[in-house]
Structure 1
């Protein structure tokens, strides 16, 4: 019998996904939960498992197509309910009758989940392993930022019909743009991973490695003599644009700035790094800023709330899911640390490190990206002193951290060179009055300027 597989709800509240590539062709025999396609949502690149065991009869969409959730993308010929086997399928389905073809109770609906095995009552998660790629060297100021690196997926342990060359989605796209076959390229990355440099070197375009990322992207899409490049608005960029427009035109933003001498905080960090309590734990200015935010929220809970338009209520949270804005090759994401307010400083530092590692590996899940209550964005890593951050939709406030700079500053009645940082706080003026926002920002600044002030606040 013929079974249609419709694009499932990937559990992100999204309505569409882009087909990046098919891993199977018409006439191929597939097994239950075998990866059949790679799709891109607004938040992640996802490998789509097969919900059936059978023969591919038709691919309804081509790579590059943007498909709405619920639309059929592939048809299978599967065994009849009475146990009969599918037809030969272009001669490539021999042996299928040796493996029972079970029809699942429902199709997968969450990222990383496969079809429901009969009798299990729930989907089974397919094992995935990731390994980070080392990014460029960072300055001391950049240590607190979430690095911008490409997600790297290692080879899954499950058996596949054929092993494809291992690489990341941006590298596969580059190879496609250059007309290269990845199977002919030797990977020099971890575990034989094919890197961008491997592709460029193979194609004779190694000089492109010195071109900035934006320039490389423009060059890949523009022909000789063309004066502009047009890029479809899809994936993360589309989701981010919609969210920012909604936030900017729904919540009345107000932004305040405070410049503080953070020399004592940097001195404290140096001491903590020598402590056995923090052995093996990465500490950055972001660690202390996050802790300062959590402490300040206890005194100004209005900044940890949400405006419920439908029920005409203000929802004040008694927990903190702390969001950290992260720039990735696919765009801006804001994963959050659940119940961050309950964590002690070593635990918070570890959670921040794991969040950064997850972002680097491309493993950030929809659950990690939802449910945030307040956010921090570190614009200092780009050498920026201050800005007017836009609220993450549904949150009441976002704190921006500027660059730490050595500047002449008044210190104990004299002018001295000190480490200075500017804080930018944007808040929803429906939820937060100017006094509440100002007191919160002042508390964060006071903690960073003199960490001992915490004793007067807790």
Structure 2
């Protein structure tokens, strides 16, 4: 029978998703929970596990297409007599955004009888087979890469495919090459099949440099860009004066969120210049401590710790305005959002229960969060539920700014560059490390006095890190 899979709601309540790439082809046999496609929502790139085991008969969309939730995505030929389709209602096809879709076992009592048993349930971590343990992911079959013909034309833009002779399809079986979504997108732009690229690092993860090196060995050129072209957009002509890029994914989500925040919450921004010389000295000492090898404690981590302590003293900055309920939500925990600039746009994942972490634990969590964001592997769950955020525009050489609130939060702290400047210290003018703090807050929730006390508390910790001992 023919089984049709419709695009499910990926757990974010978003109406659509873009097909980044198909991981299967028409006519290919797939197993239950085998990854079949990568899709990009407004928050993250996730893998979709197959809800059926069978033969792929139809791909209803191409890579780059935007598909609405509930629309047909892929069809399979499976064992049985009658056609079946996953329900179009979004909640019936909810998929958890995780790379470990094949690792979940069915819960006891999840078996259903009758016709409902033919429709897989994608709630959680993929479709749960009845009476089965953990489904094993079948190694994918390497597709044949066509060699160039005398007439010219190939998927590698006329590159010599015979430079790396592919083995017969029936003899080669391996897992999909390990790489990050940005690298896979970069390889697609250059027409490179990642199955032919060898990872150079010890992590066995293919990087952009590996793609470039392989392309160079084939004689492929790097896509040219005009000065006005966005990153990753190849120029269509030497004298191109402009180019257009569809508003999709994170950029579209960020724009909508910023407009909603700016026109919903009355923003106010206040500034404070702080002598952070003692903090920079503390950070230098911690980095030189051999006992902390492998832990990178920077001024961002110290500022994050200062924010957690200041929120304890001024909890009004850790609240939310619930318009529908007519209530102010007071959080008794801190999910600290860290704004991260990535190739796909600005994302603000958060460190859960940051107020319960030590300085070293907080530094490790921020480092892991930033690395995950840059690699494009941030999950939608990590991008929601924040209570307060920090943005560090100082890394771009900026001294101060007016950050826009993350929707639903009462405050966001901006960290400026650390500048060596003349400063009054102990009655003398000396060179000191100075940083400007920028605090934007929702004036519905926070009064100017409360914002000033919060910002002063953060500044006090950065000015004298030892003061934090009084607040622990």
Q: In the alignment, which residue of structure 1 is the partner of 2:56?
A: 56
Q: 1:42 to 1:437 in 2, by over 3 A?
A: same
Q: For 2:216, which of 201, 209, 229 is the aligned residue?
A: 201
Query: Residue by residue, what CA displacement relative to the aligned partner does 1:3-60 show, whole Å, maximum 9, x if unpaired?
Result: 1101111112222111122222332222111222221122222222111011222221
Q: For 2:127, which of 115, 122, 125 is the aligned residue?
A: 115
2:232 maps to 1:217: yes
Question: 1:246 aligns to what SS in structure 2?
Answer: helix
Q: 1:26 to 1:363 in 2, by over 3 A?
A: closer
2:369 maps to 1:359: no
**What 5-or-longer segments of structure 2 have no aligned partner?**
83-115, 139-171
Contact 1:104 1:118 in 2 (8 A): no
> Equivalents in 2 of 1:416, 1:239: separation in Å?
46
2:88 maps to 1:78: no
Q: In the alignment, which residue of structure 2 is the partner of 1:427?
A: 441
1:402-421 counterparts in 2 under 5 A? 402-421=416-435
Residue 209 of structure 1 and its aligned partner are, at CA, apart by: 9.5
Contact 1:104 1:117 in 2 (8 A): no
Q: For 1:339, which of 338, 353, 364 is the aligned residue?
A: 353
> Equivalents in 2 of 1:365, 1:327: separation in Å?
16
2:237 maps to 1:191: no
Q: For 2:403, which of 389, 393, 403 is the aligned residue?
A: 389
Q: In the alignment, which residue of structure 1 is the partner of 2:242?
A: 228
2:461 maps to 1:444: no
Question: 1:407 aligns to what SS in structure 2?
Answer: strand
1:22-41 counterparts in 2 under 5 A? 22-41=22-41
1:305-320 counterparts in 2 under 5 A? 305-320=319-334
Q: For 1:263, which of 277, 292, 298 is the aligned residue?
A: 277
> Equivalents in 1 of 2:337, 2:136: separation in Å?
26
2:317 maps to 1:303: yes
2:383 maps to 1:369: yes
Question: 1:320 aligns to what SS in structure 2?
Answer: coil
Q: In the alignment, which residue of structure 2 is the partner of 1:88?
A: none
Residue 238 of structure 1 and its aligned partner are, at CA, apart by: 0.9
> Equivalents in 2 of 1:263, 1:125: separation in Å?
55
Query: Residue by residue, what CA displacement relative to the aligned partner does 1:203-248 show, whole Å, maximum 9, x if unpaired?
Result: 6466779999966524x15334332111011111111111111111
Q: 1:410 to 1:307 in 2, by over 3 A?
A: same
Contact 1:180 1:203 in 2 (8 A): no
Q: In the alignment, which residue of structure 2 is the partner of 1:11?
A: 11
Q: 1:126 to 1:420 in 2, by over 3 A?
A: farther
Residue 455 of structure 1 and its aligned partner are, at CA, apart by: 4.7
Higher mean alpha-carbon deviation, 14-23 vs 162-171, is at 162-171
Contact 2:337 2:349 in 1 (8 A): yes
Q: In the alignment, which residue of structure 1 is the partner of 2:306?
A: 292
Q: 1:322 to 1:104 in 2, by over 3 A?
A: farther
Contact 1:321 1:373 in 2 (8 A): yes
Residue 200 of structure 1 and its aligned partner are, at CA, apart by: 5.0
**What 5-or-longer segments of structure 1 have no aligned partner?**
83-101, 128-159
Alignment: residue pair count:
403
> Equivalents in 2 of 1:307, 1:242: separation in Å?
19
> Equivalents in 1 of 2:364, 2:137: separation in Å?
26
Contact 2:402 2:438 in 1 (8 A): yes
Residue 457 of structure 1 and its aligned partner are, at CA, apart by: 4.4
> Equivalents in 2 of 1:212, 1:104: separation in Å?
54
Higher mean alpha-carbon deviation, 341-350 vs 275-284, is at 275-284
1:126-165 counterparts in 2 under 5 A? 163-165=175-177
Residue 348 of structure 1 and its aligned partner are, at CA, apart by: 2.0
Q: 1:180 to 1:453 in 2, by over 3 A?
A: closer
Residue 333 of structure 1 and its aligned partner are, at CA, apart by: 1.2
> Equivalents in 2 of 1:55, 1:416: separation in Å?
74
Q: 1:211 to 1:224 in 2, by over 3 A?
A: closer
Residue 384 of structure 1 and its aligned partner are, at CA, apart by: 0.6
TM-score (norm 1): 0.80
TM-score (norm 2): 0.77
